[in-house]
Amino acid sequence: MPETYKSITGLVDDLPASSIPQFSTAEYRQESPTQLCGICRKPIGVRSFVVDSKLACARCAARGSASLASDSPTLFAQSLIFGAGAAIVGLTFYAAFTIVTHLYIGYVALAVGWLVAKAMMMGSKGAGGTRYQLAAVVLTYAAISLASVPILVARTMQQGDTHIDWSSVAGQLAVWGIASPFLQLQRGVSGVIGLVILFVGLRVAYKMTAGGRKTI
């Protein structure tokens, strides 16, 4: 016989126990929601940062910091000064080496590209970007191409022709120097190889100044 239920009030008697609602124990767990980065929408992790009034992860914060650094006019100007100085050093070394040894070694272009890019990154304190890359390419090309001007002057003077007024033809020499890598194509295969090596040097400078994390 099923167990009956006796009402305390006496209003309901002899209710079967099976008809009484049964309550199971409920466990309450408070889940902490995962905070997402306001930029990349990925979980932030342990450390969070604020970028443009948005809660951001460490990676997006680093990218934002590098972007701000690359937009700094002061750092860009400083980078240009460092790069121009390195370009002059590279031009001088390239010209002096060729004048002394009478050898044209196109691979020097790789060293000049590396030197210019390294100096620019030092000047920008690690910041980079498109305008840094374009400036590095221009400075590297100018250093390598204009090195042909002092080489030409030195060879002309070595041949005993000391009556040329170089100041009067400085503009023409500069134009000739800028175009000299392409004028070397007249020499055939060696000219093509020299031009290819030059472009490799420009690529070195371009890739190195792409920039990364700002290290101020």
**Domain shared by 53 and 124, yes or no:** no
Range of the domain at 49: 34-70
Is 40 found in the same domain as 89? no
pLDDT for residue 127: 85
Asked whether residue 10 is assigned to any structural domain, the reply reads: no
Which of 54-68, 91-105, 128-142, 183-197 reaches the highest mean pLDDT? Answer: 128-142
Question: How confident is residue 27, by pLDDT bands cut at 50, 70 and 90?
Answer: very low
Q: How confident is the model at residue 31 (pLDDT cuts 50, 70, 90)?
A: very low
90 with 55, same domain?
Answer: no
- pLDDT for the residue numbered 68: 55
The answer to whether residues 64 and 87 belong to one domain is: no
Are residues 101 and 178 both part of a single domain?
Answer: yes
Is residue 44 in a domain?
yes
Are 127 and 189 in the same domain? yes
Residues 115 and 135 in one domain: yes
CA distance 36 to 39: 9
Mean per-residue pLDDT for 160-180?
81
In a domain, residue 8? The reply is: no
Is 26 within the bounds of a domain?
Answer: no
For 99-121, what is each residue's pLDDT tens digit?
Answer: 888 777 778 889 999 999 999 99
Same domain, 142 and 89: yes
Q: What is the pTM of this model?
A: 0.65
Residues 123, 51, single domain; the answer is no
Same domain for 52 and 150?
A: no
Q: Mean pLDDT across the stretch 143-169? A: 82
Domain membership flag for residue 131 = yes
Has residue 75 been placed in a domain? yes
- Judge whether 155 lies within some domain: yes
> What's residue 62's pLDDT?
67
Q: Are residues 161 and 63 in the same domain?
A: no
Say if residue 98's pLDDT is above 90: no
Mean per-residue pLDDT for 188-214?
84
Q: How many domains does the chain have?
A: 2
Match 């371009």 to its residue by tokens: 206
Q: Is the pLDDT of residue 63 over 80?
A: no
| Position 28 in a domain | no
Residue ranges of alpha helices (H) inside 19-168 are: 58-70, 73-101, 108-124, 130-146, 148-158
Residue 134: which residues within 8 A CB-CB, separation 6 or more? none
> Do 50 and 150 share a domain, yes or no?
no
Long-range pairs for 96-104 at CB < 8 Å and ≥24 separation?
Answer: 98/147, 98/151, 99/150, 99/151, 99/154, 99/155, 104/194
Lowest mean pLDDT among 3-7, 33-37, 168-172, 212-216: 212-216
